[in-house]
Structure 1
């Protein structure tokens, strides 16, 4: 699990080095799709496949599927590191193998919680799943630091670094793991259900992904007919999937599980929490890389690494709370711990909303630490409660459904949070940027042209560790005509952060307000789960032997 999530986030922080390595400018309008798919392809494929692969684990063996995941993941890692192409072809190679790698990640995520549930009795599952959850969340933040360090040396090391772990893990898994429960006998694959689920969820999440790209003179793509078709059509196909699942003899997912209160409440809270938390990582990275770190003397090229380091209190908070909450949930159930953790996360979001854009770091560190503690209090008890609520024969598909809600929530969160941030910036950034450039000698026509560019380009520049003003002015050739003083001011470390801090904070208020509301809604869903509940499978009927029989 650590390997899967490290590899997901390690790419986020390494994208500038990766694009420089394949000689491709990610900020050119035609290359934004490459950027989005390298970021989102892995998560999208994982979200789509985990339920199917969890069901296959129930049918053919969870350990077998898990072991295959290690092998697929490692092969994908090696292929990514050995990218032989440059420019567009190099980007397509990376996207293709990231998608392939996502299959391996889905095999791991779909079956890990089910294997742990099989291996541990109900009174010890919380601690075991807590350690697993800690590995998952910690990996996503350790990946940020590892990516920043390795990409400074060579971008291929970002992928090569995972290969030894993958090879060792594959060998270890095949040698050490054994099936502990009987596989579902006589089961058949629900091909129609699998197909409609994959098509519907892919269309929906792809539509959300493309919704944050500019279209037809608009700062975002929500008026794009293809985006609307993906979102509406994907939702309709998912509705058809639900109908199919009620009609087939052996469905991919047994919808009667949604009659189990603990299962519904846990997954609802998990989806809402993923939406609230997923985009937060990107917002905090942009906040640090685009504003705070440059204002405190860090060069734009250094900010990806330092953003990962300065976000470590978030990981520490989760590491402190995760195993402890898992252990306590074994005794007291999930409701109080999970709901309380979500309320604490909402309070931390409120604090982040209230601090100034150029904050004192100790206060920022305390707030993200508390957010990490809140996430840690929620995650392990919630996952344990979900897995405890289902029959043994459906643990794989239940684990996959939980992972689907989490991964889909992350993708939706990025689309929603970026859309809200872009909408907030679109209100104020054009006139702020135009006026600031004109004040320092940029011709008014060029200043207006740059000011009216879609804000997503500015966001991605800050996210990738580029100097946004320099990146915007360089193609126009204007820098050479400016006085050295004006050119130095515009491309310096403090001009852009001071320029964007007002518009960015306006967008941040919108984003974090929504995160607070969703966190509180998730806490309410968690409260509705009821008391501690463990599904008891029917014992195997014993043959009654009459007196005198042998």
Structure 2
């Protein structure tokens, strides 16, 4: 699980090195799509396939699918590190093999929690699932540090690091893991699988294109392609819900959502995942694009130091997760999950009150509290969800839990990038125009540079790149300016100072929204009931004599 989630973030922090390695200009027309798909392709596949692969584990064996996941993941990591092409073709190679790698990661994610739930008794389940869940969540942030360290050496090392772990894990899993769950022979629900995968896929793909410019608009939410994808995705998910109530052996028993513990746990997990995903991206932009350059760090070194300065966040996960998982086995989950989410939300309020050029110790304390709150919630919540479903459906339930969590991360990119770009669009053009003219840039050139979509500025900050030279180079303006003005424009502080005020305006909107989502998640968690058996009946009560599935209290 740690390896699977590390790869959801290790590429994010390594993107500047990867773009340089395959000789791809991140500011050239259309190349933003490559950047987004390198990130979103992995998240999309893991979000879409985990329920199907979890259900397949219920049918053919969870350990079998889990072990196969190791093999697929490792082979894809090898292929990624041997990218033979450059430019757009090199990017497409990486995107394609990231999708294959995500297939292996989805096999691991879909079945790991179900295998642990089978293996551990109820009194130890919170501890076991807590370790699993916290390593999964901490992997997303440790990936930032690993990506920064490895990409500073060689961008291919970002993918090499998986290979020895994958080989060891494959051999160990095939030698050591045994199938202890009872298999449930069943026909595959093709229509359910198809409508669910296409519905989720269309929505997440539409979000990816929605945050890109469209025509003269700063974002693509009015694009017919995006609107059609969103409407079609929702329609397919509605069709999925109808199908699942009518087929004799559905991919996922929607009756599980009648259990308040299962439904509330997944609702809280989705909202918390959206807030957490937004935090990750906003902090990277804040550190790489503004704070680190203002404190003397070169743009090229910013990814490495951003990962290091985010370590308190990971430390909070690792401190709180296992401890709260163990304690929840004795004292119940509600106080830990609800209390953790409230702490999680309060940390967002603290972050939005920080000045843009903050004191690091205040920042470190707030992200530490954010990590502790997230750890308090995640481990007990996972234990509660998995303990509330029948043993025969743990694979599908684990997949649905992962879908909510992974979809939340993908949704967060669309939600928070859109909110940030809206905030920037109101203030950035005038700040950029006046800042460039103050350094002697002709008014026409400054106006043209200021008219570019704010998303380009967001991604330059996200990549830790100073875009001023790229913006002015085509016009030859830099070469005509005095040396002092040229040095100021291409130095470490001009661009960060320029975007600080507009970015902080957008950041306040983002963190206020994340705090609100955390509060809603806390309400959902507080409303959960006591775990109880979920009655699963065949569709339309076709076989009344079928025994009722039960779970332990």
TM interval, shorter chain, is over 0.9
Contact 2:294 2:496 in 1 (8 A): yes
Compared CA separation, residues 175 and 536, structure 1 to 2 (3 A): farther
Q: List per-residue Cα deviations over 1:148-189 (Å, max 9, x = no partner).
A: 11111111111111111011111111111111111113x110
Distance 1:38 1:289 in 2: 19
Equivalent in the alignment of 1:175: 175
Where does 1:483-498 land on structure 2 (aligned, <5 Å)?
483-498=482-497
Q: List per-residue Cα deviations over 1:14-57 (Å, max 9, x = no partner).
A: 11111111111122121111111001100000000000000000
Distance 1:138 1:412 in 2: 20
Is the counterpart of residue 99 in structure 1 residue 99 in structure 2?
yes
Equivalent in the alignment of 1:546: none
Equivalent in the alignment of 1:463: 462
Equivalent in the alignment of 1:358: 357
Where does 1:150-299 land on structure 2 (aligned, <5 Å)?
150-185=150-185, 187-299=186-298
Contact 2:273 2:409 in 1 (8 A): yes
Distance 1:20 1:475 in 2: 20
Equivalent in the alignment of 2:522: 523
Contact 2:255 2:535 in 1 (8 A): no
Q: List per-residue Cα deviations over 1:217-258 (Å, max 9, x = no partner).
A: 111000110001111110111011100111101000001101
Compared CA separation, residues 171 and 199, structure 1 to 2 (3 A): same
Contact 1:388 1:534 in 2 (8 A): no
Q: List per-residue Cα deviations over 1:91-125 (Å, max 9, x = no partner).
A: 11100000011100100000000000000001100
Distance 2:48 2:261 in 1: 23
Give 1:474 shift: 2.5
Distance 1:278 1:375 in 2: 12
Distance 2:217 2:37 in 1: 21
Is the counterpart of residue 81 in structure 1 residue 87 in structure 2?
no
Q: List per-residue Cα deviations over 1:387-413 (Å, max 9, x = no partner).
A: 000000000000000000011111001
Equivalent in the alignment of 1:545: none
Equivalent in the alignment of 1:309: 308
Extract unaligned runs of 5+ from structure 2.
537-546
Equivalent in the alignment of 1:44: 44
Equivalent in the alignment of 2:24: 24
Contact 1:69 1:103 in 2 (8 A): yes
Compared CA separation, residues 326 and 535, structure 1 to 2 (3 A): farther
- SS of residue matched to 1:7: helix
Distance 2:471 2:48 in 1: 37
Equivalent in the alignment of 1:146: 146
Distance 1:533 1:539 in 2: 13
Equivalent in the alignment of 1:476: 475
Distance 1:243 1:476 in 2: 58
Q: CA RMSD in A?
A: 1.5
Return 394-403 or 126-135, whichever deviates more: 126-135
Equivalent in the alignment of 1:65: 65
Hey, which bits of structure 1, 4+ residues long, moved more than 4 A? 532-541
Give 1:539 shift: 10
Give 1:437 shift: 0.2
- SS of residue matched to 2:30: helix
Compared CA separation, residues 263 and 26, structure 1 to 2 (3 A): same
In the alignment of these two chains, the number of paired residues is: 540
Equivalent in the alignment of 1:399: 398
Give 1:377 shift: 0.3
Distance 2:205 2:516 in 1: 25
- SS of residue matched to 2:297: coil
Contact 1:190 1:250 in 2 (8 A): yes
Distance 1:539 1:480 in 2: 78
Contact 1:122 1:534 in 2 (8 A): no
Equivalent in the alignment of 2:424: 425
Give 1:533 shift: 4.6
